[in-house]
Structure 1
């Protein structure tokens, strides 16, 4: 049953086999055996894809609930005597991983020494089901309709530069004065368009498409460029929080607020949250709640 569910969700036998750590042939035999026992065809197979038959779709809906209930029963029975253990596969944006999660991860291991974390770092939109990922930390609005999304925080943007840069170029008093000073741009991907600097106004939002002297596609490098006094940046508050607190960066245009960006933890709806995944998500929620640059206002 579990193999069948994984094939339906992954879309191919190969991807399902990878997430189950089983040979492709084994998964094929399991599905064939299941169909023989039920005396009904559950899947249509071609060389390139797998589709669900009407009977398979009905069977899938009931089996998903059954497997979730079974996992719940087993977990409830074992949690009273066993601590969470095993490996949790997590995906996160690079900046949140390096600046927020990794510096605090020692406390998670202290509380849950038997849980290992496999942290995928990058800005790609991973397919959680097909790749066997337990949960992901996503920045921005969630577009995948089939995923469970729990909002765990938000951040605004901070506009700033080093004291050395501001002493040499002056401090802007309005957003429009950014056009008169060197700025640094951040883009989503190599070769893409740099994000505009955004501010809130009484009539809505103001977006400035600036002519940057330098454009980068990584938040950590973006911060490094600002610390090298190369220009004014507008970066997520969580990324510059420590630099501002230490005085390495000075915020500017503080009377001008910026739009907020939500952060969610997401996971597949048909995958039961085991104890190891649940404690990691609870820890992430608590971590974001106390972080000055990420907690919800």
Structure 2
């Protein structure tokens, strides 16, 4: 088995300020919903940027809240985007850290409203979306939050732990148990169900689909072939991922080359045998999606 060391860069940015503004429904708040007042700045090679791009398309917000798509690999030292630096410098006094995406900016002030993905997603839906096609329907919030937790802890964190375990077989086995247990639960939920919370497409499906993309395109690079085959052994789950990849709001934003290049530029891990085992042929499904594009 050939093992290669990938380039390493810092994976966290503690010097980046947290912008947590929210958009309100009326003028009583500092930021209120006005068409074309706000702009998204995203890279779909980033999992958070991909989540926002899919929701943005599902809500058909191109004219109401325009989006600027940034390169897959940041062009500044430290991982930032030069195009975002004026926004950061206007929003944080003497800011010298990396200018990271995603960002929701306010054209009226030239400053950043929010860089927190869960808030951006909910504000786009609540303030600009159509109530009849809400991705956060009344009564579904607890279910959406549960799927977000399962994806973050049971899939993303567990896959990262398994990939980092190296020669620590006990740690790798423990992490894989969590990962496979979570995938098994999600597979059971999707057996006989079109979407993860039932018959309606919600933000939980965006969360889960992006997590599955990351699992196959990124995390399997650091797992052995046996683990990847076990991950692939959840037919309802991967059929669901395949079906959503054909949906234009999902597939048109799937930048496979960009995700891979971003991962290689940032990753500190070792490539393992699972890198050669593909779970889905994403390219084939993406080309079936109307208006498929690459950024």
TM-score (norm. length: structure 1): 0.28
TM-score (norm. length: structure 2): 0.28
- Which structure has the highest helix share of the two? 2
Higher Rg of the two aligned structures: 1
